Amino acid sequence: MLEHIVLGILYDQPHTGYEIKKEIDETIGIMYRASFGSLYPMLKKLCSKGLITETDSSDTAESGRIKKYYQSTEKGKTYFHTWLTAPMEFPDSIENQLGKVYFFSMLTPPERTEQFAGYEKSISQFRTKLEEMHEACMAKPDSEHDYYHGALVYYGQTLIDNLTRWCALVKKQKELK
């Protein structure tokens, strides 16, 4: 996840590690929490993979302060776009699924339409699965323990229904309030 978020943030503007962290905290932070302990090693890793490049601020003589700017390479952009257009599917976590939506402005309208269509299909398939589970639960509705098991499955259903409604709104770029 972090890998893709970083590439997304660096897509058209260079950032320092510190700036990336701040950006994440203030935006997708609801879905994904980053820590310096994972971020800095990730930047090194992406460099060694050739997906981003590092520019030391001392090179550009900006100031005496050591500051490292990272920017995406063409390879990194391609890699990111491949991820962004790849299907969003269950049972991947909602956080991972919606983390992708955060970058949907980087898709062309047709790509976006296709992503939503695939996602909605995947959601409805999962809903069917949950209905089967719910029936299986109802088949033995005796103990208190079974009640709470049923409650979890029921939660899953309400979550899916909520996600479906949300999807329909966002897809049409309607005002959200």
Partner DNA sequence: CTAGCCATGTAAACGGTTACATGATTGG
Partner DNA sequence: CCAATCATGTAACCGTTTACATGGCTAG
Q: Which residues sit at the interface with a copy of itself, rule CB under 8 A?
A: 27-28, 30-31, 33, 91, 93, 95, 98, 101-106, 130, 133, 143-145, 147-156, 158-159, 162-163, 165-166, 170, 173, 176-177
Tell me the pairing of strands 52-56 and 15-16. unpaired
Phi-psi region of 72 (alpha: psi -120 to 50; beta: other; left: phi over 0): beta
Phi-psi region of 129 (alpha: psi -120 to 50; beta: other; left: phi over 0): alpha
CB nearer to DNA: pick between 40 and 102: 40
Distance, in Å, from the CA atom of 90 to the CA atom of 97, rounded to the nearest integer, reads 8
Regarding 166 and contact with DNA (CB under 7 A), the answer is no
For residue 22, the partner it binds in DNA, a copy of itself, none, with Cβ less than 5 to 8 A by kind, is DNA
Token pair listed for 58:
């001392």
CB nearer to DNA: pick between 63 and 105: 63
In this structure, how many other beta carbons lie within 10 angstroms of the beta carbon of residue 106? 15
* Residue of 7, 9, 10, 43 interacting with DNA (CB under 7 A): 43
Regarding 2 and contact with DNA (CB under 7 A), the answer is yes
Closest distance of CB 167 from DNA, Å: 24
Reduce the DSSP state of residue 38 to 3 states and report it: helix
* Residue of 7, 9, 31, 42 interacting with DNA (CB under 7 A): 42
Asked if 27 and 56 count as a contact pair (C-beta separation under 8 A), the reply is no
Residues that bind DNA (CB under 7 A): 1-3, 16-19, 22, 32-38, 40-44, 63-68
